[in-house]
Structure 1
Amino acid sequence: MAATFGLSLALAMALGAASLATPGKALASEEGCPGLIARRASPIIPAALAQNEVGLTYVGHATFLIETAAGVKIATDYNDYVRPSVTPDIATMNRAHSTHYSTRPDPGIKTILRGWNPDGGRAPAYDQRFGDVRIRNVVTNIRQWGGESTIMEGNSIFVFEAADLCIAHLGHLHHTLTPEHLKQLGRIDVALVPVDGSYTLDIEGMMEVLSAMGPKLIVPMHFFGQSTLNRFLDRARSKSWDTARLDSASMTLSRETLPGTPRVVVLQGY
Protein backbone atom coordinates (compact mmCIF):
# COMPACT_ATOMS: atom_id res chain seq x y z
CA MET A 1 0.00 0.00 0.00
CA ALA A 2 1.51 3.31 -1.01
CA ALA A 3 1.12 5.99 1.59
CA THR A 4 2.26 9.58 2.05
CA PHE A 5 3.05 11.29 5.30
CA GLY A 6 3.77 14.90 6.29
CA LEU A 7 7.27 14.09 7.51
CA SER A 8 10.02 15.76 5.51
CA LEU A 9 12.20 13.15 3.83
CA ALA A 10 15.23 15.39 3.97
CA LEU A 11 14.80 15.99 7.68
CA ALA A 12 14.22 12.31 8.37
CA MET A 13 17.33 11.24 6.48
CA ALA A 14 19.50 13.92 8.06
CA LEU A 15 18.48 13.04 11.60
CA GLY A 16 21.16 11.14 13.49
CA ALA A 17 19.63 7.73 14.15
CA ALA A 18 22.36 6.56 16.50
CA SER A 19 21.26 9.04 19.18
CA LEU A 20 17.91 7.27 19.39
CA ALA A 21 19.35 3.87 20.14
CA THR A 22 19.37 3.82 23.91
CA PRO A 23 18.41 0.36 25.17
CA GLY A 24 14.83 -0.21 26.27
CA LYS A 25 13.99 -1.88 29.55
CA ALA A 26 14.65 -5.57 30.02
CA LEU A 27 12.10 -8.12 28.97
CA ALA A 28 9.76 -9.58 31.53
CA SER A 29 11.79 -12.75 30.97
CA GLU A 30 15.51 -12.64 30.19
CA GLU A 31 15.17 -15.91 28.29
CA GLY A 32 15.99 -15.17 24.66
CA CYS A 33 14.98 -16.90 21.49
CA PRO A 34 14.19 -19.76 21.33
CA GLY A 35 12.71 -19.88 24.81
CA LEU A 36 11.68 -23.03 26.62
CA ILE A 37 8.07 -21.88 26.55
CA ALA A 38 8.07 -22.26 22.74
CA ARG A 39 9.06 -25.91 23.07
CA ARG A 40 6.03 -27.02 25.06
CA ALA A 41 3.56 -29.44 23.54
CA SER A 42 1.27 -27.79 20.99
CA PRO A 43 -2.55 -28.01 20.94
CA ILE A 44 -4.44 -29.85 18.20
CA ILE A 45 -2.95 -29.10 14.77
CA PRO A 46 -5.20 -28.44 11.75
CA ALA A 47 -4.35 -30.04 8.42
CA ALA A 48 -3.32 -26.74 6.82
CA LEU A 49 0.04 -26.52 8.62
CA ALA A 50 2.33 -29.21 9.97
CA GLN A 51 3.56 -28.90 13.54
CA ASN A 52 6.93 -27.65 12.30
CA GLU A 53 5.44 -24.94 10.04
CA VAL A 54 4.29 -21.33 10.31
CA GLY A 55 2.22 -19.51 7.69
CA LEU A 56 3.22 -15.96 6.70
CA THR A 57 1.07 -13.66 4.52
CA TYR A 58 1.95 -10.10 3.55
CA VAL A 59 -1.24 -8.07 3.90
CA GLY A 60 0.37 -4.75 3.02
CA HIS A 61 2.40 -1.81 4.36
CA ALA A 62 3.69 -3.20 7.70
CA THR A 63 0.96 -5.76 8.30
CA PHE A 64 1.56 -9.50 8.07
CA LEU A 65 -0.73 -12.34 9.05
CA ILE A 66 1.17 -15.01 10.97
CA GLU A 67 -0.59 -18.36 11.41
CA THR A 68 0.57 -21.23 13.59
CA ALA A 69 -0.10 -24.94 13.33
CA ALA A 70 -2.51 -24.74 16.28
CA GLY A 71 -4.58 -22.14 14.43
CA VAL A 72 -3.43 -18.96 16.22
CA LYS A 73 -3.70 -15.94 13.90
CA ILE A 74 -1.61 -12.82 14.53
CA ALA A 75 -1.73 -9.51 12.65
CA THR A 76 1.31 -7.25 12.95
CA ASP A 77 1.08 -3.43 13.09
CA TYR A 78 -2.70 -3.82 12.87
CA ASN A 79 -4.39 -0.60 11.72
CA ASP A 80 -7.58 0.89 10.31
CA TYR A 81 -6.44 0.95 6.68
CA VAL A 82 -4.72 -2.33 5.86
CA ARG A 83 -6.18 -5.44 7.47
CA PRO A 84 -6.15 -9.19 6.85
CA SER A 85 -9.29 -10.76 5.43
CA VAL A 86 -9.75 -12.78 8.62
CA THR A 87 -10.07 -11.50 12.17
CA PRO A 88 -6.83 -12.23 14.01
CA ASP A 89 -6.74 -13.65 17.51
CA ILE A 90 -3.90 -11.30 18.41
CA ALA A 91 -3.01 -7.86 17.04
CA THR A 92 0.28 -6.09 17.65
CA MET A 93 0.55 -2.32 17.10
CA ASN A 94 3.15 0.43 17.08
CA ARG A 95 2.95 4.16 17.58
CA ALA A 96 4.76 5.91 14.72
CA HIS A 97 1.80 6.65 12.41
CA SER A 98 -1.87 5.76 12.13
CA THR A 99 -0.97 3.09 9.57
CA HIS A 100 0.64 1.12 12.41
CA TYR A 101 -2.14 1.11 15.00
CA SER A 102 -5.92 1.05 15.19
CA THR A 103 -8.36 3.30 16.99
CA ARG A 104 -11.26 0.97 16.17
CA PRO A 105 -9.98 -2.61 16.20
CA ASP A 106 -12.24 -5.50 15.25
CA PRO A 107 -14.12 -6.48 18.44
CA GLY A 108 -13.43 -10.12 17.61
CA ILE A 109 -9.72 -9.72 18.39
CA LYS A 110 -8.98 -11.52 21.65
CA THR A 111 -5.71 -9.79 22.57
CA ILE A 112 -4.17 -6.46 21.57
CA LEU A 113 -0.49 -5.84 22.31
CA ARG A 114 0.55 -2.21 21.94
CA GLY A 115 4.26 -1.67 21.51
CA TRP A 116 4.23 1.61 23.42
CA ASN A 117 2.41 3.09 26.42
CA PRO A 118 -0.49 5.27 25.14
CA ASP A 119 -0.53 7.04 28.50
CA GLY A 120 3.17 7.91 28.34
CA GLY A 121 5.99 6.47 30.36
CA ARG A 122 7.59 3.07 30.01
CA ALA A 123 6.35 0.75 27.30
CA PRO A 124 4.90 -2.59 28.41
CA ALA A 125 7.17 -5.63 28.44
CA TYR A 126 5.43 -8.64 26.93
CA ASP A 127 6.44 -12.26 27.28
CA GLN A 128 3.32 -14.35 26.89
CA ARG A 129 2.21 -17.65 25.44
CA PHE A 130 -0.86 -17.99 23.24
CA GLY A 131 -1.49 -21.60 22.24
CA ASP A 132 1.64 -22.75 20.42
CA VAL A 133 3.25 -19.32 20.06
CA ARG A 134 5.29 -17.20 22.45
CA ILE A 135 5.15 -13.43 21.86
CA ARG A 136 7.56 -10.97 23.40
CA ASN A 137 8.91 -7.52 22.59
CA VAL A 138 12.11 -5.52 22.58
CA VAL A 139 11.48 -1.80 22.99
CA THR A 140 13.13 0.87 20.79
CA ASN A 141 12.76 4.63 20.40
CA ILE A 142 11.26 6.72 17.61
CA ARG A 143 11.51 10.24 16.23
CA GLN A 144 8.84 12.77 17.09
CA TRP A 145 6.61 13.56 14.08
CA GLY A 146 8.68 16.00 12.03
CA GLY A 147 11.93 14.75 13.54
CA GLU A 148 12.34 17.42 16.22
CA SER A 149 12.94 15.10 19.18
CA THR A 150 13.01 11.50 20.38
CA ILE A 151 10.04 9.62 21.81
CA MET A 152 11.48 7.12 24.22
CA GLU A 153 10.10 3.57 23.92
CA GLY A 154 7.70 4.46 21.12
CA ASN A 155 8.25 1.26 19.13
CA SER A 156 8.53 -2.45 19.81
CA ILE A 157 10.22 -5.18 17.86
CA PHE A 158 7.79 -8.04 18.38
CA VAL A 159 9.27 -11.54 18.38
CA PHE A 160 7.04 -14.51 17.57
CA GLU A 161 8.31 -17.97 18.50
CA ALA A 162 6.54 -20.98 17.03
CA ALA A 163 7.60 -24.27 15.42
CA ASP A 164 11.17 -23.65 16.68
CA LEU A 165 11.29 -20.49 14.56
CA CYS A 166 12.02 -16.99 15.88
CA ILE A 167 10.33 -14.34 13.73
CA ALA A 168 11.01 -10.64 14.41
CA HIS A 169 8.82 -7.81 13.13
CA LEU A 170 10.92 -4.65 13.38
CA GLY A 171 7.95 -2.30 13.42
CA HIS A 172 8.82 1.34 12.64
CA LEU A 173 12.48 1.04 13.58
CA HIS A 174 14.31 4.39 13.61
CA HIS A 175 17.81 3.51 14.85
CA THR A 176 20.45 0.81 14.90
CA LEU A 177 20.46 -1.69 17.75
CA THR A 178 22.67 -1.73 20.81
CA PRO A 179 24.30 -4.89 22.19
CA GLU A 180 21.57 -4.93 24.84
CA HIS A 181 18.86 -4.91 22.17
CA LEU A 182 20.58 -7.79 20.38
CA LYS A 183 20.91 -9.74 23.62
CA GLN A 184 17.20 -9.31 24.28
CA LEU A 185 16.32 -10.41 20.77
CA GLY A 186 18.39 -13.60 20.91
CA ARG A 187 18.46 -15.81 17.83
CA ILE A 188 16.36 -14.46 14.98
CA ASP A 189 15.58 -16.73 12.02
CA VAL A 190 13.17 -14.55 10.05
CA ALA A 191 13.13 -10.73 9.99
CA LEU A 192 10.19 -8.68 8.70
CA VAL A 193 11.94 -5.44 7.79
CA PRO A 194 10.88 -1.88 6.84
CA VAL A 195 12.98 -0.94 3.80
CA ASP A 196 11.71 2.53 2.83
CA GLY A 197 15.06 4.03 3.86
CA SER A 198 13.62 7.37 4.99
CA TYR A 199 10.60 7.32 7.30
CA THR A 200 12.21 4.45 9.19
CA LEU A 201 15.94 3.72 9.36
CA ASP A 202 18.11 4.53 6.33
CA ILE A 203 19.22 1.63 4.13
CA GLU A 204 22.79 1.49 5.46
CA GLY A 205 21.54 1.51 9.02
CA MET A 206 19.06 -1.26 8.25
CA MET A 207 21.78 -3.37 6.66
CA GLU A 208 23.82 -2.90 9.84
CA VAL A 209 20.85 -4.05 11.91
CA LEU A 210 20.31 -7.13 9.76
CA SER A 211 23.97 -8.06 9.78
CA ALA A 212 24.00 -7.83 13.57
CA MET A 213 20.76 -9.82 13.97
CA GLY A 214 21.80 -12.51 11.52
CA PRO A 215 18.44 -13.75 10.18
CA LYS A 216 18.52 -16.36 7.43
CA LEU A 217 15.31 -15.09 5.84
CA ILE A 218 14.50 -11.39 5.32
CA VAL A 219 11.07 -10.26 4.15
CA PRO A 220 10.78 -6.58 3.10
CA MET A 221 7.82 -4.40 4.08
CA HIS A 222 7.00 -0.70 4.43
CA PHE A 223 8.23 0.39 1.01
CA PHE A 224 6.59 2.93 -1.27
CA GLY A 225 6.76 1.54 -4.78
CA GLN A 226 9.17 -0.66 -6.68
CA SER A 227 12.01 1.89 -6.88
CA THR A 228 12.24 2.00 -3.08
CA LEU A 229 12.16 -1.78 -2.85
CA ASN A 230 14.73 -2.17 -5.63
CA ARG A 231 17.15 0.13 -3.84
CA PHE A 232 17.09 -2.20 -0.84
CA LEU A 233 17.39 -5.31 -3.03
CA ASP A 234 20.39 -3.87 -4.86
CA ARG A 235 22.11 -3.18 -1.55
CA ALA A 236 21.33 -6.72 -0.37
CA ARG A 237 22.85 -8.18 -3.54
CA SER A 238 25.97 -6.09 -2.99
CA LYS A 239 26.42 -8.08 0.24
CA SER A 240 26.04 -11.30 -1.78
CA TRP A 241 22.65 -12.01 -0.24
CA ASP A 242 20.33 -14.01 -2.44
CA THR A 243 17.08 -12.30 -3.46
CA ALA A 244 13.83 -13.70 -4.82
CA ARG A 245 10.32 -12.53 -5.63
CA LEU A 246 7.38 -14.86 -5.07
CA ASP A 247 4.20 -14.80 -7.15
CA SER A 248 2.19 -15.11 -3.96
CA ALA A 249 1.55 -12.98 -0.88
CA SER A 250 1.97 -16.08 1.31
CA MET A 251 4.67 -18.57 2.16
CA THR A 252 5.11 -21.45 4.58
CA LEU A 253 8.07 -21.22 6.94
CA SER A 254 9.88 -24.06 8.67
CA ARG A 255 13.23 -24.46 10.33
CA GLU A 256 14.11 -27.25 7.89
CA THR A 257 13.70 -24.99 4.83
CA LEU A 258 15.63 -21.95 6.10
CA PRO A 259 18.45 -21.03 3.70
CA GLY A 260 22.02 -21.53 4.81
CA THR A 261 22.96 -17.92 4.02
CA PRO A 262 20.84 -14.74 4.15
CA ARG A 263 18.08 -14.61 1.59
CA VAL A 264 15.65 -11.75 0.87
CA VAL A 265 12.19 -12.91 -0.23
CA VAL A 266 9.69 -10.37 -1.58
CA LEU A 267 6.03 -11.31 -1.14
CA GLN A 268 3.38 -9.87 -3.43
CA GLY A 269 1.50 -6.73 -2.44
CA TYR A 270 2.42 -3.50 -0.69
Structure 2
Amino acid sequence: MYMRFIFFALAFVIAPAIAVSQDVRTPSHCIALADQIDGATYIQKASYNVEVAPETVRIHYIAHASFLIRTAGGLNMVTDFTGFVGSSPMIPDVVTMNHAHETHWTAFPDPAIPHVLQGWSEEFGQGIDHHVDLGEVLVRNVSTDIRSQWSGVEENGNSIFIFEVAGLCIGHLGHLHHEPSAEQYAAIGRLDVVMAAVDGGMTVDLPTMMRIVSRLKSSIVIPMHWFGDFTLDAFLTGMSDEFQVVEVGGPSLGVSLERLPRRPTIMVLRPEWLREGGE
Protein backbone atom coordinates (compact mmCIF):
# COMPACT_ATOMS: atom_id res chain seq x y z
CA MET A 1 0.00 0.00 0.00
CA TYR A 2 1.33 3.42 -0.73
CA MET A 3 0.33 6.99 -0.04
CA ARG A 4 -1.46 9.31 -2.40
CA PHE A 5 -0.86 13.00 -2.26
CA ILE A 6 -2.96 15.84 -3.64
CA PHE A 7 -1.08 17.97 -6.12
CA PHE A 8 -2.08 21.37 -7.40
CA ALA A 9 -2.39 21.45 -11.21
CA LEU A 10 -0.83 24.44 -12.85
CA ALA A 11 -3.36 26.82 -14.34
CA PHE A 12 -1.08 28.20 -17.02
CA VAL A 13 -2.23 28.25 -20.61
CA ILE A 14 0.11 26.90 -23.25
CA ALA A 15 2.73 29.50 -24.03
CA PRO A 16 6.10 29.69 -25.75
CA ALA A 17 9.13 28.86 -23.64
CA ILE A 18 10.16 31.84 -21.55
CA ALA A 19 13.23 33.73 -22.58
CA VAL A 20 15.82 32.65 -20.07
CA SER A 21 19.51 32.91 -20.77
CA GLN A 22 21.09 29.59 -21.58
CA ASP A 23 24.60 30.91 -20.98
CA VAL A 24 24.60 30.41 -17.22
CA ARG A 25 24.07 27.13 -15.38
CA THR A 26 23.51 26.96 -11.63
CA PRO A 27 26.34 24.76 -10.34
CA SER A 28 25.31 21.24 -9.35
CA HIS A 29 26.78 18.94 -6.73
CA CYS A 30 26.85 15.74 -8.80
CA ILE A 31 30.32 14.73 -7.72
CA ALA A 32 29.97 16.01 -4.15
CA LEU A 33 28.53 12.69 -2.90
CA ALA A 34 26.67 14.67 -0.25
CA ASP A 35 24.00 13.41 2.11
CA GLN A 36 20.29 13.93 1.45
CA ILE A 37 19.23 17.52 0.96
CA ASP A 38 16.39 18.85 3.07
CA GLY A 39 13.60 20.62 1.23
CA ALA A 40 9.87 20.97 0.88
CA THR A 41 7.73 17.98 -0.04
CA TYR A 42 5.61 19.97 -2.47
CA ILE A 43 6.19 19.05 -6.11
CA GLN A 44 3.87 20.24 -8.84
CA LYS A 45 2.63 18.18 -11.74
CA ALA A 46 1.66 19.77 -15.02
CA SER A 47 1.41 19.48 -18.77
CA TYR A 48 4.81 18.95 -20.37
CA ASN A 49 4.72 22.08 -22.52
CA VAL A 50 3.77 24.81 -20.05
CA GLU A 51 6.29 27.44 -19.05
CA VAL A 52 8.86 26.06 -16.64
CA ALA A 53 9.60 28.25 -13.62
CA PRO A 54 13.16 29.49 -13.14
CA GLU A 55 15.51 26.98 -11.47
CA THR A 56 12.96 24.23 -12.11
CA VAL A 57 13.01 21.21 -14.39
CA ARG A 58 9.90 19.59 -15.89
CA ILE A 59 10.01 15.80 -16.27
CA HIS A 60 7.44 14.03 -18.43
CA TYR A 61 7.31 10.24 -18.71
CA ILE A 62 6.67 9.50 -22.40
CA ALA A 63 6.83 5.70 -22.60
CA HIS A 64 8.95 2.69 -21.63
CA ALA A 65 12.30 4.35 -20.82
CA SER A 66 11.74 7.67 -22.63
CA PHE A 67 11.40 10.89 -20.67
CA LEU A 68 11.20 14.50 -21.72
CA ILE A 69 13.38 16.74 -19.55
CA ARG A 70 12.43 20.38 -20.15
CA THR A 71 14.31 23.35 -18.76
CA ALA A 72 13.23 26.88 -17.84
CA GLY A 73 15.15 28.17 -20.86
CA GLY A 74 13.13 25.98 -23.20
CA LEU A 75 15.61 23.19 -23.88
CA ASN A 76 13.95 19.82 -24.55
CA MET A 77 15.89 16.60 -23.97
CA VAL A 78 14.52 13.09 -24.56
CA THR A 79 16.06 9.96 -23.06
CA ASP A 80 16.20 6.55 -24.78
CA PHE A 81 14.83 8.18 -27.91
CA THR A 82 13.12 5.83 -30.38
CA GLY A 83 12.24 8.41 -33.02
CA PHE A 84 8.65 8.77 -31.82
CA VAL A 85 7.38 10.77 -28.86
CA GLY A 86 3.71 11.15 -29.82
CA SER A 87 1.74 13.58 -31.99
CA SER A 88 3.67 16.64 -30.81
CA PRO A 89 5.73 18.29 -33.59
CA MET A 90 8.48 19.12 -31.09
CA ILE A 91 12.07 18.58 -32.25
CA PRO A 92 14.20 17.86 -29.17
CA ASP A 93 17.44 19.76 -28.62
CA VAL A 94 19.14 16.65 -27.23
CA VAL A 95 18.31 12.97 -27.46
CA THR A 96 20.12 10.11 -25.75
CA MET A 97 19.96 6.49 -26.86
CA ASN A 98 21.00 3.00 -25.75
CA HIS A 99 21.01 0.02 -28.09
CA ALA A 100 20.18 -2.98 -25.91
CA HIS A 101 16.83 -3.21 -27.72
CA GLU A 102 15.10 -1.28 -30.50
CA THR A 103 12.74 0.28 -27.94
CA HIS A 104 15.64 2.39 -26.65
CA TRP A 105 17.08 3.90 -29.82
CA THR A 106 16.61 4.64 -33.49
CA ALA A 107 19.00 4.32 -36.40
CA PHE A 108 17.23 7.22 -38.13
CA PRO A 109 16.95 10.22 -35.79
CA ASP A 110 15.58 13.40 -37.33
CA PRO A 111 18.56 15.29 -38.80
CA ALA A 112 17.08 18.49 -37.34
CA ILE A 113 17.95 17.30 -33.80
CA PRO A 114 21.09 19.27 -32.84
CA HIS A 115 22.58 16.73 -30.43
CA VAL A 116 22.12 12.97 -30.88
CA LEU A 117 24.04 11.14 -28.17
CA GLN A 118 24.61 7.41 -28.59
CA GLY A 119 25.29 5.48 -25.41
CA TRP A 120 27.76 3.19 -27.18
CA SER A 121 30.73 3.42 -29.49
CA GLU A 122 30.80 2.17 -33.06
CA GLU A 123 33.87 0.20 -31.96
CA PHE A 124 32.56 -2.79 -30.01
CA GLY A 125 33.36 -2.61 -26.31
CA GLN A 126 35.15 0.74 -26.44
CA GLY A 127 32.48 2.85 -24.76
CA ILE A 128 31.93 6.52 -25.47
CA ASP A 129 32.49 9.80 -23.64
CA HIS A 130 29.96 12.64 -23.86
CA HIS A 131 30.38 16.04 -22.23
CA VAL A 132 27.90 18.38 -23.94
CA ASP A 133 27.75 21.82 -22.34
CA LEU A 134 24.77 23.86 -23.56
CA GLY A 135 25.16 26.60 -20.97
CA GLU A 136 21.92 25.96 -19.12
CA VAL A 137 22.53 22.23 -18.97
CA LEU A 138 25.49 19.86 -19.04
CA VAL A 139 24.89 16.35 -20.40
CA ARG A 140 27.45 13.67 -19.63
CA ASN A 141 27.55 9.88 -19.45
CA VAL A 142 29.08 6.94 -17.63
CA SER A 143 29.60 3.78 -19.69
CA THR A 144 28.44 0.39 -18.34
CA ASP A 145 28.19 -3.12 -19.77
CA ILE A 146 25.18 -4.80 -21.38
CA ARG A 147 24.36 -8.35 -22.40
CA SER A 148 24.76 -8.76 -26.14
CA GLN A 149 22.11 -10.29 -28.36
CA TRP A 150 24.23 -13.46 -28.46
CA SER A 151 24.05 -13.82 -24.63
CA GLY A 152 27.58 -12.54 -24.22
CA VAL A 153 28.66 -9.24 -22.72
CA GLU A 154 29.25 -6.01 -24.59
CA GLU A 155 31.58 -4.05 -22.37
CA ASN A 156 30.73 -0.35 -22.16
CA GLY A 157 27.73 -0.86 -24.45
CA ASN A 158 25.26 1.08 -22.29
CA SER A 159 25.40 4.61 -20.90
CA ILE A 160 24.02 6.14 -17.77
CA PHE A 161 23.23 9.70 -18.88
CA ILE A 162 23.40 12.54 -16.37
CA PHE A 163 21.84 15.98 -16.82
CA GLU A 164 23.20 18.79 -14.65
CA VAL A 165 20.68 21.63 -14.71
CA ALA A 166 19.17 24.16 -12.27
CA GLY A 167 21.52 22.95 -9.56
CA LEU A 168 20.11 19.43 -9.91
CA CYS A 169 21.70 16.18 -11.03
CA ILE A 170 19.24 14.01 -12.93
CA GLY A 171 20.36 10.51 -13.89
CA HIS A 172 18.86 8.00 -16.32
CA LEU A 173 20.26 4.49 -15.76
CA GLY A 174 19.43 3.28 -19.26
CA HIS A 175 19.34 -0.47 -19.92
CA LEU A 176 21.66 -1.25 -17.02
CA HIS A 177 22.64 -4.92 -16.77
CA HIS A 178 24.84 -4.96 -13.66
CA GLU A 179 25.51 -3.06 -10.48
CA PRO A 180 27.97 -0.23 -11.14
CA SER A 181 31.50 -0.65 -9.90
CA ALA A 182 32.96 1.62 -7.23
CA GLU A 183 34.63 3.65 -9.98
CA GLN A 184 31.34 3.97 -11.88
CA TYR A 185 29.45 5.03 -8.74
CA ALA A 186 32.10 7.70 -8.18
CA ALA A 187 31.81 8.91 -11.78
CA ILE A 188 28.01 9.07 -11.51
CA GLY A 189 28.20 11.10 -8.31
CA ARG A 190 25.27 12.38 -6.27
CA LEU A 191 21.96 12.16 -8.15
CA ASP A 192 18.99 14.17 -6.92
CA VAL A 193 16.65 12.42 -9.34
CA VAL A 194 17.15 8.99 -10.90
CA MET A 195 15.11 7.08 -13.49
CA ALA A 196 15.51 3.39 -12.70
CA ALA A 197 14.40 0.31 -14.67
CA VAL A 198 12.31 -1.95 -12.43
CA ASP A 199 11.33 -4.71 -14.86
CA GLY A 200 12.95 -7.31 -12.62
CA GLY A 201 15.02 -9.22 -15.16
CA MET A 202 15.40 -7.71 -18.63
CA THR A 203 17.83 -5.23 -17.08
CA VAL A 204 18.87 -6.27 -13.56
CA ASP A 205 16.88 -8.28 -11.04
CA LEU A 206 14.86 -6.35 -8.48
CA PRO A 207 17.14 -7.01 -5.47
CA THR A 208 20.07 -5.60 -7.46
CA MET A 209 18.12 -2.54 -8.59
CA MET A 210 16.91 -1.93 -5.05
CA ARG A 211 20.51 -2.06 -3.86
CA ILE A 212 21.57 0.37 -6.61
CA VAL A 213 18.78 2.82 -5.76
CA SER A 214 19.63 2.64 -2.05
CA ARG A 215 23.32 3.25 -2.78
CA LEU A 216 22.61 6.28 -4.97
CA LYS A 217 20.64 7.96 -2.14
CA SER A 218 18.61 10.05 -4.58
CA SER A 219 15.88 12.32 -3.21
CA ILE A 220 13.51 11.30 -6.01
CA VAL A 221 13.34 7.93 -7.78
CA ILE A 222 11.15 7.56 -10.87
CA PRO A 223 10.46 3.94 -11.86
CA MET A 224 10.59 3.13 -15.57
CA HIS A 225 10.73 0.10 -17.86
CA TRP A 226 8.03 -1.76 -15.97
CA PHE A 227 5.59 -4.06 -17.70
CA GLY A 228 2.35 -3.76 -15.76
CA ASP A 229 1.64 -2.97 -12.13
CA PHE A 230 2.79 -6.39 -10.92
CA THR A 231 6.49 -5.66 -11.44
CA LEU A 232 6.07 -2.03 -10.42
CA ASP A 233 4.31 -2.97 -7.17
CA ALA A 234 7.01 -5.51 -6.35
CA PHE A 235 9.61 -2.74 -6.52
CA LEU A 236 7.48 -0.31 -4.51
CA THR A 237 6.81 -2.89 -1.81
CA GLY A 238 10.49 -3.76 -1.58
CA MET A 239 11.51 -0.11 -1.15
CA SER A 240 8.64 1.09 1.05
CA ASP A 241 10.58 0.88 4.34
CA GLU A 242 13.29 3.16 3.03
CA PHE A 243 11.36 5.38 0.63
CA GLN A 244 8.08 7.21 0.75
CA VAL A 245 5.96 6.26 -2.26
CA VAL A 246 3.83 8.84 -4.08
CA GLU A 247 1.44 7.99 -6.93
CA VAL A 248 1.48 11.24 -8.91
CA GLY A 249 -1.54 10.27 -10.98
CA GLY A 250 -0.17 11.64 -14.24
CA PRO A 251 2.89 11.72 -16.49
CA SER A 252 4.61 14.95 -15.37
CA LEU A 253 6.12 16.74 -12.42
CA GLY A 254 8.26 19.76 -11.74
CA VAL A 255 11.42 19.50 -9.65
CA SER A 256 13.61 22.16 -8.11
CA LEU A 257 16.57 21.95 -5.76
CA GLU A 258 14.79 23.97 -3.09
CA ARG A 259 11.73 21.70 -3.15
CA LEU A 260 13.31 18.27 -3.01
CA PRO A 261 11.47 16.02 -0.53
CA ARG A 262 12.92 15.69 2.96
CA ARG A 263 12.47 11.94 2.89
CA PRO A 264 13.68 9.94 -0.15
CA THR A 265 10.62 9.49 -2.33
CA ILE A 266 9.60 7.24 -5.20
CA MET A 267 7.45 9.27 -7.57
CA VAL A 268 5.29 7.02 -9.76
CA LEU A 269 4.54 8.64 -13.11
CA ARG A 270 2.09 7.13 -15.59
CA PRO A 271 3.46 7.31 -19.16
CA GLU A 272 1.72 9.39 -21.79
CA TRP A 273 2.74 10.30 -25.33
CA LEU A 274 3.40 13.95 -26.05
CA ARG A 275 0.35 15.36 -27.80
CA GLU A 276 0.07 18.31 -30.13
CA GLY A 277 -1.58 21.05 -28.08
CA GLY A 278 -0.63 19.42 -24.77
CA GLU A 279 -3.08 18.69 -21.98
1:34-69: per-residue Cα shift (whole Å, max 9, x none)? 69xxxxxxxxxx981222100100001000000111
TM-score normalized by the length of structure 2: 0.77
Instruction: Verify: 1:254 aligned to 2:256, yes or no.
Output: yes
1:172-216: per-residue Cα shift (whole Å, max 9, x none)? 011111111111011110000100011001110001111111101
In structure 1, which of residues 200, 203, 209 is the aligned counterpart of residue 203 of structure 2?
Answer: 200
Question: Aligned AA for 2:230?
Answer: S
For residues 117 and 157 of structure 1, the distance between their equivalents in structure 2, rounded to whole angstroms, comes to: 14
For residues 194 and 118 of structure 1, the distance between their equivalents in structure 2, rounded to whole angstroms, comes to: 25
Contact 2:146 2:176 in 1 (8 A): yes
SS in 1 for 2:105: coil
1:82-133: per-residue Cα shift (whole Å, max 9, x none)? 5583221110000100001111212321110001013424122111211300
More relative contact order in 1 or in 2 (CA 8 Å, sep 6+)? 2
TM-score normalized by the length of structure 1: 0.80
Instruction: Verify: 1:103 aligned to 2:103, yes or no.
Output: no
For residues 150 and 81 of structure 1, the distance between their equivalents in structure 2, rounded to whole angstroms, comes to: 28
In structure 2, which of residues 120, 133, 155 is the aligned counterpart of residue 129 of structure 1?
Answer: 133
What count of residue pairs does the alignment treat as equivalent?
A: 228
1:245-270: per-residue Cα shift (whole Å, max 9, x none)? 11221110101111122110111127
Contact 1:157 1:170 in 2 (8 A): yes
Q: CA RMSD in A?
A: 2.0
What's the counterpart of residue 3 of structure 1?
none
Question: Aligned AA for 2:211?
Answer: E
For residues 83 and 53 of structure 2, the distance between their equivalents in structure 1, rounded to whole angstroms, comes to: 32
What's the counterpart of residue 43 of structure 1?
none
What's the counterpart of residue 185 of structure 2?
182
For residues 236 and 189 of structure 2, the distance between their equivalents in structure 1, rounded to whole angstroms, comes to: 25
Instruction: Verify: 1:33 aligned to 2:35, yes or no.
Output: no
Structure 2 residues not aligned, in runs of 5+: 1-27, 33-48, 273-279
For residues 190 and 87 of structure 2, the distance between their equivalents in structure 1, rounded to whole angstroms, comes to: 28
SS in 2 for 1:99: helix
Structure 1 residues not aligned, in runs of 5+: 1-30, 36-45
Percent identity (aligned) = 39
In structure 1, which of residues 85, 91, 94 is the aligned counterpart of residue 98 of structure 2?
Answer: 94
Q: CA deviation at 1:32?
A: 7.1
For residues 150 and 83 of structure 1, the distance between their equivalents in structure 2, rounded to whole angstroms, comes to: 33
For residues 179 and 29 of structure 2, the distance between their equivalents in structure 1, rounded to whole angstroms, comes to: 19
